[in-house]
Structure 1
């Protein structure tokens, strides 16, 4: 494989590894928010921001963790047949299916960018009592789709290397 391909794979995987490790801790942030929500309800002074903030944190946790799970190959697969294939045949199948994934992620990113741009233009807010701005979570969604596309391309490069009998 060319040096640029190796460098790309190493860079993207290191980036997604670090972001994924950060995203793991968002679960604890969400738990703290929900504990705070419970405490404020017990003392009869409920905070109006806790439910939405927990939801936003969960979205960030889930979407920023997706490239990390793809990197570690721990994503859920229906591998009744796939697991029995040789690594080279698996790589061929992955090369075939990654284009469907890239198309899907491209469409999702396109929609997310449009929604985020609208959110910035109109200073969109959630129609609840707290009324938080929506652009921060929409930016996180765009970043996560972009990182997933980068990881899918890195996965494609790794599969091509396996097909060629090379290591990255």
Structure 2
């Protein structure tokens, strides 16, 4: 299963890179159009939506690479077995927290879809597409956390 999740994590990370280019182009066009006194409606909001997608889509890949912030100064001073137990506890805590977050975000995304929730403005932008990107990204992150917890538990039993 890890191979398939790795492929999806890499795909999402690749999409993140391309979305950052889109954000840059959107913000640059917004800056230029405002300088010419003819702003383009909805560009800044679209850039914010793209940034939200970038952040969430990168979570699974970052977890797979173990790139999230950790307090290494404390961990390296612990004995290997204690460090392993502590890491497993943190993974399980993360699984619980992300599982709860996933539950809440999924409910919110479904509600946004059913109600056709949009950001108010001259051109209303629907929020549910970004919210469903968040849901899919959190699913990948949750699965990666569970896989890491399983691997950590297996290492402890060796």
| TM-score normalised by length of structure 1 | 0.86
Residue 128 of structure 1 deviates from its aligned partner by 2.3
Cα deviation 1:85-123 (Å, max 9, x = unaligned):
455543322211212111111111111111111111111
Partner of residue 55, structure 2: 62
Unaligned runs of 5+ in 1: 1-7
Unaligned runs of 5+ in 2: none
Moved more, 67-76 or 89-98: 89-98
Superposed, 1:1-168 pairs within 5 Å as: 8-85=1-78, 88-165=81-158
Aligned counterparts of 1:90 and 1:25: Cα–Cα separation in 2: 37
Please give the root-mean-square deviation of Cα atoms over the aligned residues, in Å. 1.6
Aligned counterparts of 1:141 and 1:61: Cα–Cα separation in 2: 10
Contact 1:17 1:71 in 2 (8 A): no
Change in Cα spacing, 1:90 to 1:10, as seen in structure 2 (3 Å) is farther
Aligned counterparts of 1:87 and 1:76: Cα–Cα separation in 2: 20
Aligned counterparts of 2:99 and 2:127: Cα–Cα separation in 1: 22
- Number of equivalenced pairs: 158
Contact 1:9 1:157 in 2 (8 A): no
